[in-house]
Structure 1
Amino acid sequence: MRSPLLSCSGSEGRAVDAALSVEYAGGRSMLRRQHVGYPLHVTRGFYLDAARPDLLTLYLQSASGGLYAGDRIGLDLTIGRGAAFHLTTQAATVVHDGRASGAVQRLTMSVEAGAFCAVTNDPYVLFPGAELTLQTTATVADDAVLCVADGFAVHDPRAGGRTFTEFSSRLRIGRPDGQLLLQDAGRVSGDHLHGALGTFAASANLVVIAPPDRLPPAKSLQQAADACGALAGASAAPNGAGLVLRILAPDGGTLSRAMDAAFHVAAETALGVGLARRRK
């Protein structure tokens, strides 16, 4: 989950709580409320898709150079009835040495009746010593669509043989009445990366929650990612909630392209039209 935020450096890290609220009004989706403090920055909204002029696309940016030790970043998203919203990042996020305190990102989403919400992050790039925890919680109405994509790649800029400390994520998705649809948790350390991923150095998950008639065939998601040079596998989510796609890739660039290709397949089925590429 999956959060697309960056934070600025500092010995104590940064504690940031942000909130965005999107509503449908006047024939399009609009950002009705925002509470975003430094170092976060929200661009103006973009309407990039002529066939879906109601779809609001927003890039969430940062004035810093990545995630640092002690960062605690939170984002609350509310997508109102009938709104259509895509939140993405402007580039991959570098995760620096966690220095025993690590970085935590929390994302909470509420997707109301008939709404479409996609949160697709470029991969987190784990530098030596990086320690990142992702905590994602979502409430999704029965007829709404949620698409969440998160992934990581490993990079040692000095080629010194060091690796990241740990990457962990927890995703919990339910209905407004409290029904739990799925819960997914994973953790991997740099020392055990090759045991978990084999020869691959990058990994991602794409989760699509939608009614059955707005889901793509699982095979089409898998083929879209595979065509980019990745190795992907798709399966049904628990409780008939949707689909889960797991992706392995040799590097972050391949992973990013595979994630994007799979997202566009899911979005086209959910919205009924192909979306324009998001320039970055």
Structure 2
Amino acid sequence: MIPSAFPHWARAEALGASMQEFASFQDEPPQMRSGTVGKSGFLRLDFEHRSGKTILANLERRVPYMVQRALHCDEQLPGLAYVFLITTTGCLLQGDRLALDINLHPRAQAHLTSQSATKIHAMDANYAAQSQTIALADDAYLEFLPEPVIPHRNARFISDTQISVAPSATLLLSEVIQPGRKHHHPDECFGATVLSVSTAAARPDGISLFAEKLVIEPRRYAMRQTGVMGSFDVLANVILCTPKDKAERIHERVGADVNLAEGAAFGACRLPNDAGLIFKVLGRETAQVKAKVREFWSVVRQEITGAALPPPYLWR
């Protein structure tokens, strides 16, 4: 766990230096050193509930991160702040260090997504790192549903997400990971060198709830074996932190299935310490995985807020 007192992007810099799976990738890129200006993005978003709606009360940023403004475009939840996360580079390169801090004050409601998929380009030196902290106060509600992560051949990426969630708050956090540009070149499918994705959650008083770490090293471990990806290509990992009674109602509605003919499998299980649920989806194509995540999102939205999802936008 990286101390939150670290200055912004330095938290992301410390990630790779502290993880064994990145010990052999400490060399510096010949083009531009890691963490320099333009490669050390920082974004802090503070949301507050005021006069019946949520506003983006505080915004701090450093390129390549950018946010334009909070929109209130959801007719079912008019007070919900809708924010697009933008990176002006459009991709992650070797030596990039990104830090994202999201804070929701009591009763704030927000939906965060990205402007496009996160493309992690090929690397021959160093790695890209991302540090995220998410804090939800009493009765806050956050949907954080970015577009998929696409690791290109030889990509090296480490991500760490630290969550602080009040007992009455709800966080829906989704991550969709594609195998790469599988229709671009045969070696692109599961061609990344290493992906390391960690998530941990605790109460505001520091009591730990759960921790999960996913390490993908296709060159060391076969991805097509049973118990890993098998015949599937795309993985969605969805974490729902919410009060126990709400989590039980959602769990009863979700179910589980493995359908090899259609190339999809999904299911939800309970997180420890009554923290909520974790929902996982496997599929052969991204569209079917995102559709199943949307179904879960719809159930969560209905049970937590009583509102329905709006129709998908045309560009989704």
TM-score (norm 2): 0.79
Per-residue deviation, residues 80-118 of structure 1 (Å, max 9, x unmatched) = 011001111122111111324121111101100011012
After TM superposition, the structure 1 stretch with the greater mean CA deviation from structure 2, 156-165 or 117-126, is: 156-165
Match of 1:34 in 2: 59
1:166–1:189 contact (8 Å) kept in structure 2: yes
Match of 1:193 in 2: 223
Assess, with a 3 A threshold, how the Cα gap between structure 1 residues 211 and 11 changes in structure 2: closer, same or farther. Answer: same
One-letter identity of the residue aligned with 2:78: P
Which of structures 1 and 2 has the larger relative contact order (alpha carbons within 8 angstroms, sep 6+)?
1
Q: Which has the higher strand share?
A: 1
2:250–2:299 contact (8 Å) kept in structure 1: no
Q: Residue 239 of structure 2: which of 199, 202, 207 is its match? A: 207
Matched, 1:177 2:197: no
Which residues of 2 match residues 114-263 of structure 1 at below 5 A? 114-156=139-181, 158-162=184-188, 163-191=191-219, 192-195=222-225, 196-215=228-247, 216-222=249-255, 230-263=264-297
How far does residue 190 in structure 1 lie from its aligned partner after superposition? 2.2
Q: Any stretches of 5+ residues in structure 2 without a counterpart?
A: 1-30
How far does residue 224 in structure 1 lie from its aligned partner after superposition? 10
Match of 2:81 in 1: 56
Instruction: Give the distance between the partners of 2:131 and 2:47, measured in 1 at CA.
Output: 19
Aligned residue for 1:206, secondary structure, equals strand
Which residues of 2 match residues 29-108 of structure 1 at below 5 A? 29-108=54-133
Assess, with a 3 A threshold, how the Cα gap between structure 1 residues 105 and 225 changes in structure 2: closer, same or farther. Answer: farther
The alignment-based identity, stated in percent, is 24
Assess, with a 3 A threshold, how the Cα gap between structure 1 residues 225 and 278 changes in structure 2: closer, same or farther. Answer: farther
After TM superposition, the structure 1 stretch with the greater mean CA deviation from structure 2, 20-29 or 116-125, is: 116-125
Instruction: Give the distance between the partners of 1:160 and 1:105, measured in 2 at CA.
Output: 28
1:221–1:266 contact (8 Å) kept in structure 2: no
Instruction: Give the distance between the partners of 1:12 and 1:221, measured in 2 at CA.
Output: 47
1:202–1:252 contact (8 Å) kept in structure 2: yes
1:41–1:62 contact (8 Å) kept in structure 2: yes
Aligned residue for 2:224, secondary structure, equals helix
Q: Which structure has the bigger radius of gyration?
A: 2
TM-score (norm 1): 0.89
How far does residue 189 in structure 1 lie from its aligned partner after superposition? 1.3
Per-residue deviation, residues 219-270 of structure 1 (Å, max 9, x unmatched) = 53356998x9631111011011111011111122332332233222212211
